[in-house]
Amino acid sequence: MRVFSVFALLLGALVLVGCGEKIESEISGPSEKSIASAESLAALSLTPNERQMMRPALASQKQTYESLRQLNLENRERPGLRFDPELGYPSHEMQDMGPQYSSTPEIQRPENMNDLAFYTIGELGHLIRTRQISCLELTRFCLDRLKKHDPQLECVITLTQSRAEARARILDSMLARGEYLGPLHGIPYGVKDLLAVKGYKTTWGATPYRDQHVNETATVVKRLDAAGAVLVAKLTLGALAMDDVWFGGQTRNPWNVEEGSSGSSAGSAAAVAAGLVPFAIGTETLGSIVSPATRCGVTGLRPSFGRVSRNGAMALSWSMDKIGPIARSVEDCAMVFEAMRGADYKDPVAVDRPFHYLPEVDLKDVRIGYLKNVFEEEYYGASLDDDALSALRRSGAKLVPLEFPLQKYGVENPWDLIIILTAEAGAAFQELTLSNQDDLLVRQRQADWPNIFRAAQFIPAVEYIQANRARVRLQNMMREMFETVDVYVTPSLAGPSLMITNLTGHPQVVLPSGFLAVNKPHSISFVGGLYDEATTLAVAKAYQEATGWHKQHPEDFVE
């Protein structure tokens, strides 16, 4: 058997395209003028001789592009590369003793059923477990609220009523036999409509896919089914996971229906905020849980990269996409996360890691940092963020000032690495660019997907690799930071943390922290070490219980 080196193979390929007058005359390639024009896009400077020498190779590459495009790759087909948030350095070993939850006070079924709209999962679970309300009754309650308020909020794409009612009946029968599946037994919920559910459309919020059926059910939905949750609706998202505008309109903020709910987990955040469902599933690549949770005044968890299987979900960025819960409280998010997490052979990046969540934590025993230089900047909401730090100190936290040592690691502007996201998104939806179906998307501005996808076709593969190498520097920087703290506090949207942590895969909990003005919620965020959602949630819960902002709800949706 002969063994060829990669260099020999490359040399052979170059000989075919670059040597011999006959080959060069048949594949002359682009003109020197075209190459010179392309140089400016790639930030290169070549000599006339170098341009001439490149012509056959560029012609061969173009033929390769055209050949690859004939493969008609589907969105669900992953690249043969995967992002490793640990970089070969495993997280600290911890015994997986599972989560514990706060004890639920003895509550009675309310006289006014509308009060149920803003009960927590724990409270609703107590009513179900004690047979004060049936699974079917609660399911129909949520379906009725979705039907009543969706015309105002535009947060529902598809109701899954027949599936939900059938499942609720089964869950009631199980309870009658003494079978209880856990805290999500009989709890209704919604999913962002980029998660496939067999028998229902999966539209991705975008006109080209508004009639799409995916013949499978996402792993997340299967796991929530197994935990006893009841899917009642597929909720809106901004088209192809951007913002809050979809093919049917714009999802509204329940606190102020004159403005959008932000995105892209637009319907998930709006439906929870308005009390239409106790919890919903969102996704995040770069702020798609954090931003709508902030706008709508709800609590969200963006788990570590790889904690939750993405099988059955639309791919936007294979190395950055994450799935997480949006709910009324931190502990509600913990309950939902426990049901979703874990490895899945259908998603090779999904991993099993411990989740030993404890509902009570002494903040004095946790090393909590805060991004001092970011908090000291002038930005909208800075005073509320300062109030959040004060509340933590009053609760016993000894806050350690932190600063991202970006200069030390040579990545002074992490936003430069956004080409990782745009290159992967451009590949995931190249079919729209090539077929001109990108013209069907509702928004066509400079900062919208159609233009971004087109521009992404010009990102050199070399620069994509270089950006990923720089990404490793950020991972090393975060590893150094988490040697000194367990969790750090950050403004949810100000500063570089949102970009950095979405690149490095660290978990973030976002929760209400007050109001910027009347009916204008604000939030604060907690970021934890890789796979340490347990500590991050526990610290966030301590802050939430000390402040109580999550107990306020938009008045127009109380009835």
Does residue 62 have an active-site annotation? no
Q: Which of 134, 262, 265, 288 is catalytic?
A: 288
Helix, strand, or coil here: 158?
strand
Instruction: Report the greatest alpha carbon distance in the chain.
Output: 90
Torsion sign across C-alpha atoms 471, 407, 374, 545: positive
- DSSP percent split of the chain into helix, strand, coil, nearest 5: 45, 15, 40
Q: Per the omega criterion (within 30 degrees of 0), is the bond before 34 cis?
A: no
Residues 476, 483: contact at Cβ < 8 Å? no
Looking at 154-265, list the stretches that DSSP marks H as alpha helix, in order from N- to C-terminal side.
161-176, 219-226
Residues 156, 142: contact at Cβ < 8 Å? no
Backbone angles phi and psi of 381, in degrees to 5: 100, 0
Does residue 288 have an active-site annotation? yes
d(CA 385, CA 513): 8
What is the tally of helices (H) and strands (E) in the chain? 20, 15
Tokens 């087909």 locate to 77
Q: Which of 134, 261, 264, 291 is catalytic?
A: 264
d(CA 269, CA 288): 10
Tokens 């970021």 locate to 527
**Which residues, 6 or more positions from 160, have their beta carbon under 8 angstroms from its beta carbon?**
197, 200, 231, 232, 233, 234
**How many CB atoms are located within 10 Å of the residue 135 CB?**
25
Q: Which of 134, 192, 329, 492 is catalytic?
A: 192
Does residue 268 have an active-site annotation? no
∠ Cα 146 212 235 (to 5°): 20
The two tokens of residue 471 are 């990404």
Q: For residue 203, list its beta bridge partners.
A: none
Q: How would you label 451-481 residue by residue, b for 16+ Cβ within 10 Å and e otherwise? A: ebbeebeebeeeebeebbebbebbbebbeeb
Backbone angles phi and psi of 215, in degrees to 5: -85, 55
Burial degree of 327 (CB within 10 A; 0-12, 13-18, 19+):
buried
Residues labelled as active-site residues:
192, 264, 288
